């Protein structure tokens, strides 16, 4: 999950921009207006995965908000992600209609009305959506107390919601894990859950315990347990590689994406994914489709940014801040072919 807050002055600029209605025409905000102008068509938004990161649907989903945690359904006919506002984050979804058009993105109907929710991840049959949330969870209070976390402000837990036969969603169910703030789930075919605990900067693997629960285990070094904070773990269905967010002297910017392979019973030293995936800005939230074709991630990179020759005017600052090109996170899509090129021989 992205853990940052907008500066009060930027919030003021956002309000000015909303009043002025000055979003640039070439970077539309998401919603009905964008859908009417540039709504995509076809599975996977009609995209072909290429070697260069691209905004999905030509920027149709991009807005002045943070967008991250993008996952497609296996058939490319549903898309889930997180949209972050100054007050809270929302689980968003858009669906392809039988005629190939896509619905305007909207928050999922089971969203908690008060607590932030983020980090969607689909099961391999597309029937279960995992996510993280600070919604109250009575079922985990005993776990939190037993593991030494003082009760009070709701902490983040991993949840799931199942699809119903009529196409709706069942009530979410919590998965008790560490009780210390659990984020960002991915899944192996054997049912192991990968997630991270940001209070520690570590990644955990939770194996099914045979009784309906999971037993969390720290993923050992060189992934976790060292001085460098790691999180946002994506693990492959077969458990043979992991892509995750990391920090440190081997980063190109504030935070980068790294890959490690499971070889001969241990994880290889992490490799920076490099350009054009990583940049001087912040990259996070990796995901790879189960068929190994698609890669999505989030980046705060600028395309043009705030800078103008001679310095921007206040009007230009407001206009840029209200656009998608304001250093807030945007979603990017590309081919996942680079993984095999990086795999050890």
Contact 203, 196 (CB under 8 A): yes
Closest CA to 121 of 110, 130, 133: 130
Q: What is the pLDDT of residue 152?
A: 52
Q: How far apart are CA 61 and CA 66, in angstroms?
A: 11
Domains of the chain, first to last: 8-342 (2.120.10.30)
Ramachandran sector of residue 45 (left: φ over 0; alpha: ψ -120 to 50; beta: rest) = left
Contact 230, 313 (CB under 8 A): no
Q: How far apart are CA 235 and CA 244, in angstroms?
A: 9
Element (DSSP H or E) covering residue 161: strand 157-162
Q: What is the pLDDT of residue 328?
A: 86
Angle at 186 between CA 180 and CA 192, to 5 degrees: 85
Q: What is the pLDDT of residue 139?
A: 55
Q: What is the pLDDT along the chain (345 residues), one digit of tens a residue?
A: 544 433 334 333 333 333 333 333 334 343 444 444 468 899 999 999 999 999 887 778 888 889 999 999 999 999 999 999 888 899 999 999 999 999 999 999 998 888 899 999 999 999 999 999 998 876 555 444 444 444 456 789 999 999 999 989 999 999 999 988 999 999 999 999 999 999 899 999 999 988 888 999 999 999 998 888 999 999 999 999 999 999 988 888 889 999 999 999 999 999 999 999 999 999 999 999 999 999 999 999 887 777 777 788 888 888 888 888 778 899 999 999 999 999 998
Q: What is the pLDDT of residue 138?
A: 67
Alpha helix ranges (H) inside the chain: 8-20, 32-38, 141-146, 314-321, 338-342
Per-residue CA distances from 320 to 4, 15, 306, 323 (Å): 20, 13, 6, 5
Q: How far apart are CA 288 and CA 38, in angstroms?
A: 25
Give per-residue burial for 14-37: e unless 16+ CB within 10 Å, then b.
bebbeeeebbeeebbbbeeebbee
Model pLDDT for residues 282-323, shown as the tens digit of each residue = 999 999 999 999 999 999 988 777 777 778 888 888 888 888
Q: What is the pLDDT of residue 126?
A: 97
- Return all residues near 286 (Cβ < 8 A) that are at least 6 apart: 232, 234, 243, 244, 245, 257, 295, 296, 297
* Single pTM value for the model: 0.84
Q: What is the pLDDT of residue 19?
A: 33
Per-residue CA distances from 140 to 116, 128, 136, 213, 217 (Å): 18, 20, 9, 12, 18
Q: How far apart are CA 310 and CA 317, in angstroms?
A: 13
Contact 203, 224 (CB under 8 A): yes
Q: What is the pLDDT of residue 141?
A: 52
Eight-state DSSP code of residue 320: H
Contact 323, 330 (CB under 8 A): no
């Amino acid at each position: 999950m992205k853990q940052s807050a907008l500066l009060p002055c930027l919030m003021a600029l956002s309000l000015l921009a909303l009043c002025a209605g000055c979003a640039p025409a070439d970077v539309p905000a998401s919603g009905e207006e964008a859908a009417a102008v540039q709504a995509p068509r076809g599975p996977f938004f009609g995209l072909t995965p290429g070697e260069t990161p691209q905004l999905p649907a030509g920027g149709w989903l991009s807005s002045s908000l943070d967008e991250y945690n993008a996952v497609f359904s296996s058939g490319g006919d549903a898309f889930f992600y997180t949209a972050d506002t100054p007050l809270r984050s929302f689980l968003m979804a858009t669906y392809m209609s039988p005629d190939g058009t896509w619905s305007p993105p909207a928050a999922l109907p089971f969203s908690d009305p008060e607590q932030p929710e983020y980090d969607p991840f689909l099961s391999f049959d597309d029937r279960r959506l995992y996510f993280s949330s600070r919604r109250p969870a009575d079922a985990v209070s005993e776990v939190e107390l037993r593991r030494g976390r003082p009760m009070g402000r709701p902490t983040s837990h991993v949840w799931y919601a199942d699809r119903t036969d009529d196409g709706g969603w069942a009530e979410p169910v919590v998965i008790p894990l560490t009780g210390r703030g659990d984020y960002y789930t991915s899944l192996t075919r054997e049912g192991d859950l990968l997630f991270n605990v940001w209070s520690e900067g570590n990644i955990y693997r939770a194996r099914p315990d045979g009784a309906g629960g999971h037993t969390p285990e720290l993923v050992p070094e060189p992934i976790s347990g060292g001085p460098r904070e790691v999180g946002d773990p994506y693990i492959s269905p077969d458990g043979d590689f992991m892509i995750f967010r990391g920090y440190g002297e081997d980063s190109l910017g504030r935070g980068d994406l790294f890959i490690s392979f499971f070889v001969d019973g241990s994880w290889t030293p992490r490799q920076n994914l490099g350009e054009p995936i990583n940049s001087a800005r912040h990259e996070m939230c990796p995901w790879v489709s189960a068929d190994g074709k698609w890669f999505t991630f989030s980046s705060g990179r600028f395309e043009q940014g705030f800078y103008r020759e001679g310095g921007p005017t206040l009007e230009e600052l407001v206009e840029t801040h209200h656009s998608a090109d304001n250093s807030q996170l945007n979603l990017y899509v590309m081919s996942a072919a680079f993984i095999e090129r990086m795999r050890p021989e």
